Amino acid sequence: MKAPYACQSPEHSFARRQFLGSLAGGFVVGGLGALTQPAAAKELNRQQMRVISIFMSGGVSQLETWDPKPKTDTGGPFRAIPTAVPGTHICELLPMTATHMDKLALVRSINTNQGDHGKGRYQMEFGRNQMPGMEYPHLGAICAKGLERDDNPLPGYIRVGGGSRGSDAAWLGPRYASVGVNGKPPANSERYKGLTEDIDILRNKFRQRANDRFLQQRRTAATDVYTESYEQARELMARRDVFDVEKEPGSEKEKYGDSQLGKHCLMARRLLENGIPFVQVSHSNYDTHNENFNFHLEQLGEFDRAFSALIADLHDRGMLETTLVIVMSEFGRTPKINARYGRDHWGKAWSVCMGGAKIHPGAVVGATNANGTAVSDREVDHGHLFHTYLSAVGMDPAGSFDIGGREMPIADPSHSAIDELIV
């Protein structure tokens, strides 16, 4: 029996023609400048740095994951188990992940002081507090821009498991906004069965000639956008198999588990292998105001299998040193267990997990007190984490993007990276 959710996040449907339609109207150069340090951008391109973010929607409990407090008044029924890092323990609900903790790191001292779902998510994904009238680019959009590869025609920021085209790139422009796919090749990305390849080539040659003739007389920024976007959509159609997890052998699919999260993590690995700079996977819904323990028992079983398979694959394929892995949420859960055997929203003392790229493997930064009610050592917040993520893939979070001649800070200038985490 599935544990009941206290809050439901809306699921976004995926219209059949929305994906390619949004591509046709979405990619805009819009006066974007290059990174202020072209040599640094070229080096990032050579290293092929990438990011995968797994977002535990609703607020996963730090006490049932990364910072267990067994045998205390807040600890709950689960034990803490040893990991591959001597002296570091995590919750027994993550036994497979425990074997990979020598490749990962923990931050156990986060205080975002935020208990609202939307504002907490914004903090973690945008690195700033949400303010009326102010728009900033999502971490994925920044990575899509900063880690962009000229030879990759696919979108730079892909969300696996939700929505279509996002509006989360702010002043970076729609070119770097997210594109959502639902765990299978995008709809309408396959050539019509009644159309042969030869005829399709002839049609596109005719279209290109007509475009060229039109552009000689009435070329505008809008026509350039449509021409570029159409070509990008064609390239995506040519590489639609990248999104098809059915191309994977049965042993690989079994390793990740027969869950939606397992399939999404497997797709994410395929996207990373094909040079996508930023992939986000979501797992919901951890908003466990009631039956917290039953729910985490069920949900973390899916996560543990899929996540450990992903880490093992990235490591075995030599990708982990150039791929930053982040497991985040909008906040944690209250140490106090409520009358419904649940935990409520808690942003004052919680944890995240990350690894790969330039993150120090096996590191544990910060601590909470004996029963997890407050940070006791090395307090950090979303701004510090945001700087750390960018530093881990070789970007300079203290730098800026040149947007139409205006310098725009990449991250909140009032914060800095967690230096202990960066190798």
Per-residue pLDDT of the chain (423 residues; tens, 9 = 90+): 344 434 544 433 333 333 344 443 333 333 333 344 555 555 555 578 999 999 999 999 999 999 999 999 999 999 999 999 999 999 999 999 999 999 999 999 999 999 999 999 999 999 999 999 999 999 999 999 999 988 888 889 999 987 677 889 999 988 888 988 887 776 666 767 777 878 877 887 887 888 888 888 887 766 765 665 566 567 667 678 888 899 999 999 999 999 999 999 999 999 999 999 999 999 988 999 999 999 999 999 999 999 999 999 999 999 999 999 999 999 999 999 999 999 999 999 999 999 999 999 999 999 999 999 999 999 999 999 999 999 999 999 999 999 889 999 999 999 999 999 999
Cα Rg, the chain, nearest whole Å:
22
Eight-class DSSP state of 420: G
Count how many Cα atoms sit within 13 Å of the Cα of residue 351 in the half-sphere of its side chain: 27
Contact (CB, 8 A) for 378 and 366: yes
CA 212 to CA 202: how far, in whole Å? 15
- Strands (E) located in 69-203: 80-82, 89-91, 104-110, 157-160, 179-181
Domains of the chain: 18-366+377-421 (3.40.720)
Q: Is the peptide bond before 285 cis (omega within 30 degrees of 0)?
A: yes
3-state secondary structure 200-225: HHHHHHHHHHHHHHHHHHHCCHHHHH
Q: What is the DSSP string of 38-101?
A: HHHHHHHHHHT-EEEEEEETTT--STTTTS--TTSTT--SPPEEE-SSTT-EEETT-HHHHTTG
For the record, the structure tokens of 294 come out as: 């039953």
Identify residue 41 by its one-letter amino acid code.
A
Lookup result for tokens 């935990």: 343
Pairing of strands 367-368, 345-346: unpaired
Q: Helix and strand tally (H, E) in the chain? A: 11, 17
Closest-CA residue to 328 (of 60, 51, 108): 60
User: Which pair of tokens denotes residue 407?
Assistant: 């310098």
Q: Which residue has the tokens 């027994």?
A: 92
**Prediction pTM value:** 0.84
